[in-house]
A and B are shown apart, each in its own frame.
Chain A
């Protein structure tokens, strides 16, 4: 039942999907191609039969119209089957199935098919991980099995169940067109003297239509013949999935063809009558005899990949249950590839991340550590990191900050590494090289960044994104989200600002932290996660690293550092200057990660919640979710479930305990990075001054931003993105906008640094 309203051909909004059968709005424009195709097919053939065939049957034989008739019937039958048959739509997953893949679940699940790794993406609409070769059709709003393409000429998806009919339709249509054209030509050749007759005219018109359609149809037919022979779908072919690679779904040419043409008709999943459950389940229940070993094994049994996530999630859930009740799962926005986007609900996501076991084994490895102390863990880590970085960064010269901030390689990843003198590089491993401290691996990002880069919130250089690794970290944050875009944006932003001032505020934190810290992180990271891929997937690695770093930090310092927390807390990329006393490392980490993703709008909540909930379990293929990312961030690699509510704000206890070193006065460099840091700082300061900022990421950013301006204001006024000093909601955008809008007037000072933020606002950061 179309839910959309039709007005003047306008199609209504998409109706909410039913649990099993999604309803689609009526869109008249969808029916134009199929109507035209039907009209041409039926009309031309009818004319052919009426005007050309009588003479042909007389002249040659009656077999001519019979053959054409059969061919036409075959074309019609296949056309109807292709049009009306269910292509293999998957029913929406029920809620309870979804639960096991709760928030913090990765966006992708890899599965090995004949030795080849294939990714299964989480479909936020249908709430399951798409089986291989399945794709979600946006036109039909369904996941279709063995999705080939959506054909407008039949107004239907072509999938597993009706591909055969579509293929036969193409073949038969080509033959039919050739037949019609050929016989028409025969007619014309015999009637060259009577071309003025109606029959001849009609025949010529039909021939024209046939000739016109022959080229595209034959081309498409040839294309699909090749696809069938190779065992590929159109989707795979046009997206280049197996370009230069091996197709794990092929069984050889002959088997592929026979599979298409000769396999049994696949069943439909929708519209089946459900058998009522007649079996009664009544206690007492039989129980198997369990040996002690079995019991022990049961506890340790990790199960398969899915189970891993599941069990981990449950464990985490139970552990942090009291810390933060998991919010009801919101609809999971589809998360784009990690790095490109932040998790939708930064807050909720982060906290849930902390609560849930990381989906990846690596994460899981660290998760117990993280979760055990609960959120404090993260907080401590961040705090620790902050402190360390703060001390070091203070000493750091602003130039170093500048350098680091200017490094285009800010990787969005928390990449602690990469700081070195501003040489921020995208890849985690590379990062460690440069800067003063050799920032820890990117994994640290979330946590480590906080530590490193937030040494002193008040340090303007930090904001500037300094030269030190911290800045790298920050920048990496900023640049993290979308590898290409973010880094590009950051880099470009960084390049825009003049050398003296660390361009990107967010980066400045890092840089201020001083490279010395970075090395710690790096080493920590290295130790913790030796196997961690240093090259984060657009900041993916950061969560891991940061988690590890955080752990180590926490163990060592256990000092919640306001600055660190603040830094971490701010959903924005690194560079918060906030000195949140107790802000848990999670927020900053999350923010960092978010920044890494860059594509995500700044998290509104600064991660006021220090809980390590925010700590995002590193998800494979997904960049760590910044808790801040609210549901509005569709590009987050994480399957932001509806549960991922922006928790940072809500859960943040006031950070006021420790006045942020940076306090309200933050001088930002004009660089975009500074802007990011602004956000972070604002959040921090906002949290400090005004308690948790609950607003959605954008709002939060605004708030913190406003707070930073001069003095901390209780986060009351959500700044609109139009606010000159406000940070753009999207990290990527923010950066770019920040970069562009920021005035290069950054003046790092000794005691007080003045940084010009986006829009010309000048902040003073006391170093």
Chain B
């Protein structure tokens, strides 16, 4: 279904319609950044990297709940895999000790490998699921793995204030 221009009412549904969002990043001349949703970490199991799967209300009208939860659950699984203490990590540690940590210059640690996988996954999710819905996921590693940042975009023309605030929208940067 085509995205109807977001009316003011629709926009007010967002927790904060940031007309004053000064941090607009215009990806395309036709979409403007309207909002950012942050998925916080879930610390109920300790300091393992895990994000809350609770569906944020701001995304209620933008994406299906199941899609979102799938994404977060998959990310959580990736992180659990990265932090798993098993054979590979133990071997890595021993090798590092033996080579006086010079091995870190040559090979990639397990965590880094998984992070690359995560980055690829997020990219793919963005392309397939989120960008068509006007959303973008930012890799949590850029935020210190504290939050998953989801940027919410709006049609430039539909939201007056947002387009007003999006100074670049008209310039078609």
CB <8 Å contact, A303 and B85: no
CB <8 Å contact, A304 and B40: yes
Q: Which of B18, B83, B123, B153 contacts A264 (CB 8 A)?
A: B83
Q: Which of A114, A146, A283, A301 contacts B57 (CB 8 A)?
A: A301
Q: Is A263 an interface position by the 8 A CB rule?
A: yes
CB <8 Å contact, B100 and A74: yes
**Interface pick from A271-279, A405-413, A579-587, A692-700:** A271-279
Q: Is A317 an interface position by the 8 A CB rule?
A: yes
What residues of chain B lie closer than 8 Å to A18, measured between beta carbons?
Answer: none
Q: Which of A97, A283, A307, A311 contacts B143 (CB 8 A)?
A: A97
What residues of chain B lie closer than 8 Å to A258, measured between beta carbons?
Answer: 85, 90
> A262-273 interface mask toward B, CB cutoff 8 Å, 1 = contact, 0 = none?
111111010010
> A296-332 interface mask toward B, CB cutoff 8 Å, 1 = contact, 0 = none?
0111011110110011011101100000000000000
**Interface pick from A127-135, A655-663, A749-757:** A127-135
Q: Which of B17, B28, B147 contacts A282 (CB 8 A)?
A: B28
CB <8 Å contact, B38 and A306: yes
Minimum Cβ distance to chain B for residue A489 (Å)? 37
> In the complex, what residue of chain A is closest to B100 when comparing beta carbons?
A77
List residues of A (73-101) whose CB comes within 8 Å of B's CBs: 73-74, 77, 81, 90-91, 93-97, 99-100
When A287-B3, A303-B54, A318-B12 are in contact, do A265 and B60 touch as well, CB less than 8 Å? no
Minimum Cβ distance to chain A for residue B12 (Å)? 7
Q: Is A60 an interface position by the 8 A CB rule?
A: no
Q: Which of B115, B139, B143, B155 contacts A285 (CB 8 A)?
A: B155
What residues of chain A lie closer than 8 Å to B126, measured between beta carbons?
Answer: 279
CB <8 Å contact, A298 and B13: yes
Minimum Cβ distance to chain A for residue B85 (Å)? 5
Q: Can you identify 15 A-B contacts, CB atoms within 8 angstroms?
A: A77-B101, A113-B43, A114-B45, A263-B93, A264-B92, A267-B109, A280-B27, A285-B62, A286-B1, A287-B3, A294-B60, A297-B60, A307-B57, A311-B57, A318-B16
When A283-B30, A285-B132 are in contact, do A100 and B141 touch as well, CB less than 8 Å? no
Q: Is A244 an interface position by the 8 A CB rule?
A: no
What residues of chain B lie closer than 8 Å to A317, measured between beta carbons?
Answer: 16
Bound-state CA distance A112–B28 (Å) is 41
What residues of chain B lie closer than 8 Å to A274, measured between beta carbons?
Answer: 142
When A269-B145, A278-B123 are in contact, do A285 and B46 touch as well, CB less than 8 Å? no
| Apart from the given pairs A258-B85, A264-B92, A279-B123, 18 other A-B contacts in the complex at a CB distance below 8 Å | A90-B146, A97-B149, A99-B18, A118-B43, A164-B93, A263-B83, A265-B111, A267-B115, A272-B142, A279-B131, A280-B131, A283-B155, A285-B3, A285-B62, A285-B133, A287-B133, A289-B1, A298-B13
When A133-B47, A262-B89 are in contact, do A315 and B15 touch as well, CB less than 8 Å? yes
CB <8 Å contact, A279 and B109: no
CB <8 Å contact, A279 and B136: yes
List residues of B (1-35) whose CB comes within 8 Å of A's CBs: 1-3, 12-18, 21, 23, 27-28, 30-31
CB <8 Å contact, B30 and A266: no
CB <8 Å contact, B153 and A131: no
What residues of chain A lie closer than 8 Å to B60, measured between beta carbons?
Answer: 290, 294, 297-298, 301
Bound-state CA distance A714–B127 (Å) is 63
What residues of chain B lie closer than 8 Å to A249, measured between beta carbons?
Answer: 46-47
Q: Is B171 an interface position by the 8 A CB rule?
A: no
Bound-state CA distance A269–B109 (Å) is 15
Q: Which of B18, B47, B123 contacts A146 (CB 8 A)?
A: B47
Bound-state CA distance A128–B146 (Å) is 9
Q: Which residues of B contact A (CB under 8 A)?
A: 1-3, 12-18, 21, 23, 27-28, 30-31, 36, 38, 40-41, 43-47, 52, 54, 56-57, 60-64, 82-85, 88-90, 92-93, 96-97, 100-101, 104, 109-112, 115, 119, 123, 126-127, 130-136, 139, 141-147, 149, 153, 155-156
Give 9 closest A-B pairs by Cβ, nearest first: A314-B16, A285-B134, A285-B3, A311-B15, A298-B60, A90-B144, A301-B57, A264-B89, A314-B15
CB <8 Å contact, B90 and A262: yes
Minimum Cβ distance to chain A for residue B103 (Å)? 10
CB <8 Å contact, A286 and B13: no
What residues of chain B lie closer than 8 Å to A240, measured between beta carbons?
Answer: none
Q: Is A248 an interface position by the 8 A CB rule?
A: yes
Q: Which residues of A contact B (CB under 8 A)?
A: 73-74, 77, 81, 90-91, 93-97, 99-100, 111-114, 118, 128, 131-133, 145-146, 164-165, 168, 248-249, 251, 255, 258-259, 261-267, 269, 272, 274-275, 277-290, 294, 297-299, 301-304, 306-307, 310-311, 313-315, 317-318
CB <8 Å contact, A285 and B100: no
What residues of chain A lie closer than 8 Å to B13, measured between beta carbons?
Answer: 298-299
Minimum Cβ distance to chain B for residue A553 (Å)? 30
Minimum Cβ distance to chain A for residue B83 (Å)? 7
CB <8 Å contact, B155 and A91: no
What residues of chain B lie closer than 8 Å to A164, measured between beta carbons?
Answer: 93
What residues of chain A lie closer than 8 Å to B146, measured between beta carbons?
Answer: 90, 93, 128, 131
When A97-B38, A299-B13 are in contact, do A286 and B133 touch as well, CB less than 8 Å? yes
When A77-B101, A258-B85, A267-B141 are in contact, do A113 and B44 touch as well, CB less than 8 Å? yes
When A81-B101, A264-B109, A277-B27 are in contact, do A97 and B57 touch as well, CB less than 8 Å? no
When A96-B21, A100-B16 are in contact, do A282 and B31 touch as well, CB less than 8 Å? yes
Q: Which of A95, A100, A146, A275 contacts B119 (CB 8 A)?
A: A275
Minimum Cβ distance to chain B for residue A468 (Å)? 43
